[in-house]
Amino acid sequence: MRILIFGLGAIGGIFAGFLKRVGHEVYAIGRKRIISTVREKGLKIIGIWGEHRVNLNGVYESVEELPLKDFDLVILSVKSYDTQEALKHLKGLNFKYLLLAQNGYGNYEKAKEVFPPNKLILARVIFGARITPEVEFEVTVCGDDVVIGNPDGAIEEQTLKEIAQIIDSAGVPTRYSPDVYKYLWDKILYNCALNPLGALLETNYGTLANMEETKTLMEQIIEEIFKVAKAKKIELFWENPEDYKKFFFEKLIPPTAGHYPSMLWDIKSGKRTEIEALNGAIVRLGKEVGVSTPVNEVITKLVKAKEKLRLKA
């Protein structure tokens, strides 16, 4: 397959490296610092999925620099706040499918405003990765397979299964599910409850679960999301917040108790966070259906304030 990775960050780099490793034709677009190192030294992967080094077919800073415009698959792996701009650039390309490997709510919805749903594949990505100071792409954790699908049923299941198999056989555990949207919302629930509080208080998930004050806040965040989902007719895996909270505190948090959210590292690095695609999205969706989300609203404002203070610093 001829593949373009649009957004050669931590996640994009992992997809690029593994797909190239098994013989696919892989091009990438990313930021200058990353691109220059990958161009000079190749793309090196380290971490829990082993050590690999590959040379991509081409790495560029913009779509305009690409030597060709036709791709079988484009993997979009930019931050959620860059999605709109990225989609504008992708309009100049010819591709069969666009796979959205991103965080939070709204990326698929934005893509549908630009491209027909039979070109779009949604992915729930739940492996963690980072770029080291030496510009090596490290896989740090993997909670489950990447799950892909089309929420509108606009692409044949067999095609989606084949694409999942291609990615899986490259070394990135991947499967197809018709419930991909539920999987995405499962991750949104988890991220909304943990990421902002971990970033604000600069602590790990286990500490958040063990403190009465933060445990209560996380429960309230979850309850508000369930109310919004019900009003918006968004189907979740869980019938009610009580069942989810039990699973969240008993099953999800213990294995990741020592984990710190990437949102904290974004703030410490003076970068923008993806709060608007998480708790901020819950607030916006709530307003659309007249559901009050006071806890998510306060959390969103606090993260944005902390973000601004760090950006100024």
226 close to 236: Cβ distance less than 8 angstroms:
yes
- Of the residues 20, 187, 245, 306, only one is catalytic, namely 187
To which residue do tokens 């445990």 refer?
A: 215
Catalytic-residue membership of 215: no
For 144, phi and psi rounded to 5 degrees?
Answer: -170, 175
CA-angle at 262, arms to 15 and 219, nearest 5°: 120
Catalytic residue ranges: 187
